[in-house]
Structure 1
Amino acid sequence: MAGVRRRDRRGRGLRGPLTPPRAPISRSRAERFEDLVADEVRRLGRRWGRELAQVEFVVEDVPDVDPRSDGPVPLGMTEPGPGRGGVRIVIYRRPVEARADGERETARLVRDLLVEEVADLLGLSPESVDPSYDTPDD
């Protein structure tokens, strides 16, 4: 039993994670945001999978904007993808989190942003892409 250490040299116990690594509480805010976007992409993919097959969904922290511009900071955008015919839909984490009050509003804002970008890409109205668009989550 001499090889087992139960306390560090100051008697406070071993330091380490308080929760298992895959527990939701141990995930960073950025990881939780990426999970939220991935869940919404999967949800939209169930209905529009074939139309979204060439679309890459990306989360970036902040957009590249000119600091001298007076316009609003974008929350997301659609841009040409790296491949031929591909498209990227980018969601900017920090501006979305700054605009939302809490996790519930962040989830609603991410849903609405993705629906708007997909609707614009497909040439449809947001309501036809997702009937729950712009409705509160109760």
Structure 2
Amino acid sequence: MQSSRHDPGFTVRMADPDAGPESGSPGLSVVPRGFRQRRRNRHSRGLRGELMLSTLPGYRTRSDRFDDFVLDSAERLHDIWGKPLDGVRFAVDEIPPGLERLVADGSPAPMGSYAPATAEEGPVITLYRRVVEHACGSREELQDLVHDVVVEHTAEMLGVPPESLDPVYRRRY
């Protein structure tokens, strides 16, 4: 998912859920089937439409709402800072790599990571959705924590303290 609402130099790219480890293996392609393809439909009596209208709050999944929180936080920082954040990609992954090893060692799981720019692509700030959701109790806390994690890793990238990056860092509404 890429979004560029108002500034052509600013993009937010979410991690592609379809690009899994099985998609890169040669000679083996596993394509998960959706509900409509795998559900038996006897006598054409299947679902006739969507179960939930797109205007209702339950239509969006937790993953979609988390992506929106990341997008909102990234756009807020871009509105404040502008040019230094051009070319920065914000990604969302489910869990951090090597989570089992971290848990076995007793160390806390990271909520996000920052990868500096390479010759091929710009810097990438990745948030780990399951870890951040696990640390929160409510939706409001989740939105605040997502913003704090985005601010922390953006501040790490820019080399400034997080408090100077965003005036509402670590303040609960």
TM-score scaled by length of structure 1: 0.81
Is 1:108 the counterpart of 2:141 in the alignment? no
Q: 1:79–1:87: 8 Å Cα contact kept in structure 2?
A: yes
**The structure with more radius of gyration:** 1
Q: 1:56–1:88: 8 Å Cα contact kept in structure 2?
A: yes
| SS at 2:84 equivalent | coil
- State the number of aligned residues: 128
After superposition, the Cα gap between the structure-2 partners of 1:122 and 1:80, relative to the gap in structure 1 and judged at 3 Å, is: closer
Q: 2:151–2:165: 8 Å Cα contact kept in structure 1?
A: yes
Q: C-alpha distance in 1, partners of 2:125/2:107?
A: 20
Is 1:16 the counterpart of 2:49 in the alignment? yes
Gaps in structure 2 of 5+ consecutive residues? 1-46
Gaps in structure 1 of 5+ consecutive residues? 1-13
- 1:120 is displaced (CA, Å) by 1.2
Give 1:55-134 correspondences, 5 Å limit: 55-65=88-98, 67-68=100-101, 69-81=105-117, 83-84=119-120, 86-134=122-170
Identity %: 39
Q: Give the corresponding residue for 1:4.
A: none
TM-score scaled by length of structure 2: 0.66
Alpha carbon RMSD of aligned pairs, Å? 2.4
- 1:118 is displaced (CA, Å) by 1.0
